[in-house]
Structure 1
């Protein structure tokens, strides 16, 4: 049995609902930061995620300009995909995109509660998360399906 995935299998797996693990080079020679994070992905597109503009995470991402990203399935059959890529943009989180993420990860009831908490926050007030977009041409680092 092969433990390799086809490109279509990898992209489909990345598009499923998983918590991703974002990694970015640490500052001043420190170890990389690795954090669990919600994300969005459509096959053939960019991985998008959001974090506060003034966070340590966003500061490191801006400094490094590139990220590593891992998605795993903890139940049998175990699977994971690990990719790396350059960050190609920073922009305020689109309200519709954030709504989709909230519903995807929390379900309708809890997702709506999160959205109500974020209503009224503006992108320029330092509180509304900003999306970072990683290159569509993500380079595969590792994969396993078995």
Structure 2
């Protein structure tokens, strides 16, 4: 059994700065699920928000499936991850400029965020945001295993 994170820890982890990996089913069942890296936003107790172009395959599949998964991980030892899955609760079309700005500022330093937002200002009319309420959580924090291995190595 994987060493799971307590609720407050998993929510803090998901709210931390990670590139998420979004997974969405192709409801037609003719292809494997779409799995792509995304910028996302999340505050503990809230919804996951992702932004994409209105006419992308990702947007089409999200609309059709009505739900998605998102995984965030820490690739440094000891490894940790949080994966959430749930229904799309809202589609903001077009994306609220404040949401777009918040995501840019989350992933870029202030100067880069300003430059990015200016350079991509035309996307505002084409971008939409999907919100998802996490229903199912999967987590793992291998810190306890790492501590056990370190102790075993000293014995």
TM over 0.5: yes
- Counterpart in the other structure of 1:138: 135
SS at match of 1:90: strand
After TM superposition, the score normalised by the length of structure 2 is 0.84
Greater C-alpha Rg: 2
**Deviation at 1:138?**
2.4
Q: Which runs of 5+ in 2 are unaligned?
A: 143-155
**Deviation at 1:119?**
2.6
Q: Which runs of at least 4 in structure 1 moved beyond 6 Å after TM superposition?
A: none
- Cα deviation digits, residues 111-142 of structure 1 (max 9, x gap): 1111102335553xxx2x1110002x4211x2
- Cα deviation digits, residues 65-91 of structure 1 (max 9, x gap): 010111100111210011110001111
SS at match of 2:115: helix
Provide the C-alpha distance between the structure 1 equivalents of 2:85 and 2:105, rounded to a whole number of angstroms. 27
For the Cα contact (< 8 Å) 2:66–2:87, is it kept in 1?
A: yes
After TM superposition, the score normalised by the length of structure 1 is 0.88
- Counterpart in the other structure of 1:107: 109
- Counterpart in the other structure of 1:59: 60
Q: Which runs of 5+ in 1 are unaligned?
A: none
Provide the C-alpha distance between the structure 2 equivalents of 1:45 and 1:106, rounded to a whole number of angstroms. 22
- Counterpart in the other structure of 1:32: 33
Distance 1:13 1:122, change over 3 A: closer
Number of paired residues? 139
Distance 1:121 1:5, change over 3 A: closer
> Root-mean-square deviation (CA), in Å?
1.5
- Counterpart in the other structure of 1:10: 10
